Amino acid sequence: MNIELFVSEKGQLVLTCHGTFEKPIDQIILDGQTGILTFVFSPDMEEWEPNCTVDLEVCKKVQNQLFCAIGYLNNYKLIAAEYVRFNYRA
C-alpha cells in the first residue's frame, strides 16, 4: 500500500493511503528516535510498520499531536477520511 505523509505549517500530521485496511486503526505510533511509524489495529492490537521512515525533522514538528488525519484514496480520489489517535514516543 502506498502511504504518503503530509505535515501542515502548524505541525498537524495527515496521512493518505492508496487503499483501505481490513481492520480499523486503533492508533498510530511514531518513534521519534528511529522515525518508524507503527499502525496498531483493533480489536487484537495487531501492529504493522510501513517500509519507510519519517524524517527526524518531521518527527520534531509532529511530536505534540494527539490525533492525525488519514485519507483513503481509490484511483487518486478520496473515498473516506478519519481521525486516529497519534502517539509520539521520544
pTM, to two decimals: 0.91
- Tens of pLDDT, residues 13-34: 999 999 999 999 999 999 999 9
66: cell is 494527539
Distances (CA, A) of 58 to 5, 10, 25, 36, 55: 10, 12, 22, 12, 5
- Tens of pLDDT, residues 41-52: 999 999 999 988
**What percentage of the chain exceeds 90 in pLDDT?**
90
